[in-house]
């Protein structure tokens, strides 16, 4: 990768754009955007926790509801992408999952680890609502 690491500012801005505008039934094709989405899912999960498939599916559906508003990707496809991109590791028996330290390696600045994707999206929704309200108030009656 010959691009600079994704900063927390870029992460928050692109996550908002990707998750609140348009609709997509698949992950972004641009690798940088794809990494932002997958990292946001990883940040939504609990570090050090081992998930059963059912628990992981519930957590992925929770991410879609709280963060991935305009992304209608199937949780199984999302889980597969997280494994393929090394964010998640599946046990040999295929019954347990946990986050890895290598997911997204080299893509992100260290401060991205502190981001809470659901708060980024919530703040963006509130800011957009405030902007609409301000615009509504400034229109002539």
Which pLDDT score is estimated for 141?
A: 64
Report phi then psi at 23, rounded to 5.
Answer: -140, 140
Query: What is the maximum alpha-carbon separation in the chain?
Result: 66
Q: Is the pLDDT of residue 94 over 80?
A: yes
> Does residue 3 form part of some domain?
no
Q: Is the pLDDT of residue 1 over 70?
A: no
Which pLDDT score is estimated for 54?
A: 95
Please tell me the pTM assigned to this model. 0.91
Report the number of distinct structural domains present in the chain.
1
Q: Write down the mean pLDDT value for the chain.
A: 92
Which pLDDT score is estimated for 119?
A: 96
| Half-sphere exposure for 86 (CA within 13 Å, toward CB) | 7
> Does residue 1 form part of some domain?
no
Domain boundaries, position 114: 8-138
Distance CA 93, CA 137 (A): 59
Question: For residue 33, what is the domain's CATH number?
Answer: 1.10.10
User: What value does the mean pLDDT take over residues 39-48?
Assistant: 96
Q: How many residues does the chain have?
A: 141
Q: List, in sequence order, every beta strand (DSSP E) within 1-79.
A: 51-52
> Does residue 89 form part of some domain?
yes
The Cβ of residue 122 has, within 10 Å, a number of other Cβ atoms equal to 13
Q: Is the pLDDT of residue 129 over 70?
A: yes
> Does residue 47 form part of some domain?
yes
> Does residue 2 form part of some domain?
no
User: What value does the mean pLDDT take over residues 11-16?
Assistant: 96
> Does residue 21 form part of some domain?
yes
> Does residue 54 form part of some domain?
yes
The CA-atom distances, in angstroms, between 132 and each of 12, 17, 112, 129 are 21, 17, 29, 5
């Amino acid at each position: 990768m010959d691009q600079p690491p994704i900063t927390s500012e870029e992460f928050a801005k692109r996550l908002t754009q990707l998750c609140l505008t348009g609709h997509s039934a698949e992950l972004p094709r641009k690798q940088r955007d794809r990494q932002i989405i997958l990292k946001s899912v990883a940040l939504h999960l609990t570090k050090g926790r081992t998930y059963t498939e059912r628990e992981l599916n519930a957590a992925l559906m929770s991410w879609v509801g709280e963060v991935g508003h305009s992304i209608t990707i199937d949780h199984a496809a999302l889980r597969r992408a997280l494994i393929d991109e090394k964010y998640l590791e599946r046990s040999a028996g295929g019954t347990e999952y946990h986050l890895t330290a290598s997911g997204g390696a080299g893509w992100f600045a260290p401060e991205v680890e502190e981001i809470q994707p659901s708060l980024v999206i919530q703040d963006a929704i509130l800011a957009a609502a405030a902007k609409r309200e301000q615009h509504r108030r400034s229109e002539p009656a």
